[in-house]
Amino acid sequence: MSQISCIFCRIIHGQAPGEVIYQDEEITAFRDIHPQAPVHILIVPNRHIPAVAALHPDDASLIGRMILVARELAKREGIASTGYRLVINNGPQAGQSIDHLHLHLLGGRTMRWPPG
């Protein structure tokens, strides 16, 4: 998939609508258009990476920063003290529907276990 056809790349570059709530040189976060919880934010690398399977060892700090951004957004959204879930799906059987690595921040309700 090219970056031009990737909806997440288009949101990152302001070429498609999205409620962007955080952006820096490496990471963008925006609200999911089909939320599965009262708070459902997607945290994505600005560089097009199709999935976890496409990560390289050099991407370790990027993944760590994504989790730290999720922690800060959980504080901003008022769910840090009650709890939240972080999810990364890899591949269609795991539920990955967009071929751009993304971390789901979910909260604002009780989560069930096991998921899915």
DSSP helix/strand/coil, 4? coil
The token duo for 65 is: 């920063």
How far apart are alpha carbons 114 and 116 in whole angstroms?
7
Q: Is 94 helix (H, G, I), strand (E, B) or coil?
A: helix
102 is catalytic: yes
Query: CA-to-CA distance for 112 and 34, rounded, in angstroms?
Result: 19
Active-site annotation holder among 34, 40, 56, 102: 102
Q: 20 pairs with which residues across the strands?
A: 30
Cite the active site residues: 102
